[in-house]
Structure 1
Amino acid sequence: MLLSSRPPSSRPRPSRRLRAALLATAAACVLAAAPPPAVPLGIGDPLFPHLGNPGYDVLSYDIGFTYQGDNRKPMEAVTTIDALATDWLERINLDFARGTVHSVEVNGRPAEFASADEDLVITPGHAVYAGQQMRITVRHTSDPGTQDGGWVRTSDGLVMANQADAAHRVFPCNDHPSDKAMFTFHVDAPKDYTVVANGLPVGRERAGNRVLSTYRTEHPMATELAQVSIGHSAVLHREGPHGLPVRDVVPAADKARLEPWLKKTPDEIAWMERLVGPYPFETYGVLIAGADTGFELETQTLSLFERSLFVRPGFPEWYVDSVMVHELAHHWFGDSVSPRAWSDLWLNEGHATWYEALYAQEHGKHPMEARMRAAYRQSDAWRAQGGPPAAPKPPAPGQKISIFRPVVYDGSALALYALRQEIGAPKFEELERRWVSEHRDGTATTADFVQLASDVAGRDLSTFLKAWLYGAKTPPMPGHPDWRAAAPVAGRVAAPRHA
């Protein structure tokens, strides 16, 4: 049955109070439907709590740069990220700063985006569910003009130095070593420039006066280890152990001058393999840059060095050799086996310093014991200044690389020396080989190391290692009851020049 409607004039009018309540309810509904403001996220790393992002696992990066020949100007870039969602994601946070974002797509569809501190916050058209794979494509600029990490301007181009908190100044990423992924780099540059990146070359296409170079890794990599070199460089090829391809990238004018250092690399790799097992990647090489960085850096498969280390008078041969071995050793300790959190940094630097010192002992006649005794004298001061090895103090404000303090270098190698004194050299060597074998291509924690050390030793070493790794004071050195630590003196302690 159809009912006739009441004439409009006869409809009852709501009271003023009711109208106000209805308007308030409608406004509340609108506000509830509006998405909350974009905010930066992090995974709660003890030293860099803003780094990394929850809710997904990156599988691969495909990154393209267009270099026009001026290392002061921003480059056009495209970063494509394939990832697996581990949570329901209405928004996706990436770490990214120092670049302009032109557009974002998620699974081929345009997505909204906003910047929040050093995060790029993406709102896809449809939420991504847990277990779903997603492809994020960001068209952006990459700015080499900043001076706080990421791109480093050289005398003839660019290189990268992303440790520990700077890869997101180069490309959008999940910038934390706990989320390793495969990488592909495409660099379009003028034909008179040489481009080399992590991994192996998989393509080179020339179009007019430009060349597109493509490199791809064969093993997962942390973002802080990414490397792209663009310059007037010579690439020198040689063979390492078991046919390993070794390629060094050096200023073209210096290749003859640097050859006495570069030709040592295959023997240095063989030396490390005898101690800890097979080299873990598809290639290795030395990248020598015309830049004053104040450090050397173990970027994966292509370690970055300052030119001045090799050409400046005053550095003895044994010292330069040992620094080269330090960065090489990182390819087992830090690159292949990456820290789960930045507070596990001692596992990287303590081990690299250990093999640096061991190489100096065997090839430069600088006894390990003398170096460790000197470190023991300073250990309490280092702990007071920077915290114990496995619980370092956060970086100083505005000085992100200040986590690279003496305590994570010689102070952490000292803890390894104490462990070898405690369990004996054969067990210690077994531990080292098992550590890099069992955690290859992965991440690991201090707790993992303590557990494996206990397994190898056949007894619980947690109390012993807790004192060495977390104690405010340096414990007595096994086998050396006469060693004494000096009282801490106020003042800043300079960090080593290598990372």
Structure 2
Amino acid sequence: MLLTSRRLRAALLATASATLVAATLPASAPEPLGIGDPLFPHLGNPGYDVLAYDIGFTYRGDNTKPLDAVTKIDARSTRRLDRINLDFTQGVVRSVEVDGARAAFATAGEDLVVTPRESLGAGSPVRVTVTHTSDPTGGKGGWVRTKDGLAMANQADAAHRVFPGNDHPADKAAFTFRVTAPSRLTVVANGLPVAKSRAGATTTWTYRTRHPMATELAQVSIGDSAMVHRKGPHGLPVRDVVPKADRTRLEPWLAKTPGQLEWMERQVGRYPFETYGVLIAGADTGFELETQTLSLFERSLFTRPEYPEWYVDSVMVHELAHQWFGDSVSPLLWSDLWLSEGHASWYEALYAQEHADKPLEKRMREAYRLSDGWRAAGGPPAAPEPPAPGKQLSLFRPVVYDGSALVLYALRQEIGAGEFRRLQRDWVRDHRDGTAGTADFTRLASAVAGRDLSDFFEAWLYGRRTPPMPGHPDWKSEAAK
């Protein structure tokens, strides 16, 4: 994600089964549970690992009305379960089935608590089918109403405002989307199309991912859109989705994507997914978002004259870099967000240096000057302060963007450019399609460097004050005002 407020600045589970903490499902009243994420304590659910989602939406052409929906979840229990907690809110649940049998359900906080007829033993496969509505009018993330339809923006904790599931990036799964909409509209979703059928005035579009995905990265776009196809590196299918009226106007921007893909591959290795593209939406979100295989952008980014070309290019690269850092390798905890946003900001800045003569060192020196203030306002990079209540996007502070890219700059200064480049490539290769956290990164960095970097990372990631910059003893950081 890249917040719009940065635009005019010069620098512009312990396992994947979501069992980070032990919890015992109660035998009395249903209650909301979580996996123990320090920043979102009630997000995610213990006791099972989601393997696949199959989500169906029916959209009738009015983005002010709830969609009818059916969400099927294939999972495996990781211990005995008398109840199954799903994250879900903002929709009406009509029925729930567990392995084809009707199940009792209740709501508790933002959890849907399901009680199957029989308890599940550890290691049991289970299918939960929820028939529900999906309401695009509630705000706080999830569905975004565009000028001609809908799109999704689920980061950080809003996917469960769209569909029930285990809404934490530590539990990634395969996704299938089946979306029925008026035939005059275009539907696109994560992954590749696998079916399309018309019945009367409606068409059902089916998309499926080939790689596991975190719920916060889900994307479904419905609108009066043009879908533009071209080839990327190695024949990669590139498909962009733009408002039909803007197809010609936006083509110069769309044509940049194959070259940007090639540039990123030279930095960190082969693109990790089955397709890529940009989704340009007629909506004012305040951010751009790295939804997997189809990054979401505001139309205004490409049409407002005050944004110089180099800046728009670097924002496009920021979201593209997230496909490696944040999407393919997802954060184990939300406090690991610095790994995603720091790397995306790093490659954004590196691209601007190479293509627009915007020196990386100048940007990092300015970040260093501001770093102590950022840390005071939002916490150090790997121990951020919780978001403000009801304002989850407040988590996305400067310290997780350039403040975290600054950590990477310091690391490159510490271990050398060659070892730093090797670390980047090893990181996305070793953790592809998985989740990883700060401890994993520090261990790998130490292994690549051939020496223990624990003290370096402790100071740079957790210190309230910014450490001295290796190689730049004259750099100064201003105290918070």
TM-score under structure 1 length normalisation: 0.91
Please give the alpha-carbon distance, in whole angstroms, between the structure 1 residues aligned to 2:265 and 2:326.
Answer: 16
Match of 2:315 in 1: 323
Instruction: Give, in angstroms, the shift of residue 248 of structure 1.
Output: 0.1
Match of 1:91 in 2: 83
Q: Give the one of 188, 191, 196 matched to 2:180.
A: 188
Please give the alpha-carbon distance, in whole angstroms, between the structure 1 residues aligned to 2:206 and 2:190.
Answer: 10
Corresponding position: 1:245 with 2:265: no
Match of 2:470 in 1: 478
Please give the alpha-carbon distance, in whole angstroms, between the structure 2 residues aligned to 1:39 and 1:147.
Answer: 24
Corresponding position: 1:446 with 2:476: no
Q: Which runs of 5+ in 1 are unaligned?
A: 1-33, 490-499
Corresponding position: 1:157 with 2:149: yes
Instruction: Give, in angstroms, the shift of residue 35 of structure 1.
Output: 4.4
Please give the alpha-carbon distance, in whole angstroms, between the structure 2 residues aligned to 1:397 and 1:108.
Answer: 39
Q: Which runs of 5+ in 2 are unaligned?
A: 1-25
Deviations 1:326-377 (A, max 9, x none): 0000000000000000000000000000000000000011000000000000
Corresponding position: 1:142 with 2:134: yes
Report 1:198-237 matches (<5 A): 198-237=190-229
Match of 2:328 in 1: 336
Match of 2:358 in 1: 366
Secondary structure in 2 aligned to 1:383? helix
Instruction: Give, in angstroms, the shift of residue 401 of structure 1.
Output: 1.1
Please give the alpha-carbon distance, in whole angstroms, between the structure 2 residues aligned to 1:439 and 1:461.
Answer: 20
Please give the alpha-carbon distance, in whole angstroms, between the structure 2 residues aligned to 1:464 and 1:65.
Answer: 49
RMSD over aligned CA atoms reads 0.7
Secondary structure in 2 aligned to 1:114? strand
Instruction: Give, in angstroms, the shift of residue 52 of structure 1.
Output: 0.3
Report 1:107-118 matches (<5 A): 107-118=99-110
Instruction: Give, in angstroms, the shift of residue 242 of structure 1.
Output: 0.2
Please give the alpha-carbon distance, in whole angstroms, between the structure 2 residues aligned to 1:38 and 1:372.
Answer: 50
Instruction: Give, in angstroms, the shift of residue 313 of structure 1.
Output: 1.2
Please give the alpha-carbon distance, in whole angstroms, between the structure 2 residues aligned to 1:278 and 1:100.
Answer: 42
Corresponding position: 1:67 with 2:59: yes
Match of 2:7 in 1: none
Match of 2:341 in 1: 349
Letter in 2 for 1:336: S
Q: What is the aligned-residue identity percentage?
A: 74
Instruction: Give, in angstroms, the shift of residue 303 of structure 1.
Output: 0.1
Q: Give the one of 398, 402, 407 matched to 2:394.
A: 402
Relative contact order: is structure 1 or structure 2 higher (C-alpha 8 Å, sep ≥ 6)?
2
Instruction: Give, in angstroms, the shift of residue 165 of structure 1.
Output: 0.5
Deviations 1:104-146 (A, max 9, x none): 0001100000000100000000001100000000000000011
Letter in 1 for 2:371: S
Letter in 2 for 1:459: R
Deviations 1:8-28 (A, max 9, x none): xxxxxxxxxxxxxxxxxxxxx
Please give the alpha-carbon distance, in whole angstroms, between the structure 1 residues aligned to 2:321 and 2:431.
Answer: 15
Secondary structure in 2 aligned to 1:417? helix
Secondary structure in 2 aligned to 1:326? helix
Secondary structure in 2 aligned to 1:125? coil
Instruction: Give, in angstroms, the shift of residue 147 of structure 1.
Output: 1.1
Deviations 1:236-272 (A, max 9, x none): 0000000000000000000100000010000000000
TM-score under structure 2 length normalisation: 0.94
Match of 1:383 in 2: 375
For the pair shown, the structure with the greater C-alpha radius of gyration is: 1
Please give the alpha-carbon distance, in whole angstroms, between the structure 1 residues aligned to 2:370 and 2:480.
Answer: 8
Match of 2:116 in 1: 124
Corresponding position: 1:47 with 2:39: yes
Please give the alpha-carbon distance, in whole angstroms, between the structure 1 residues aligned to 2:393 and 2:55.
Answer: 25
Corresponding position: 1:427 with 2:419: yes
Please give the alpha-carbon distance, in whole angstroms, between the structure 1 residues aligned to 2:454 and 2:227.
Answer: 47
Match of 1:260 in 2: 252
Q: Give the one of 96, 100, 111 matched to 1:104.
A: 96
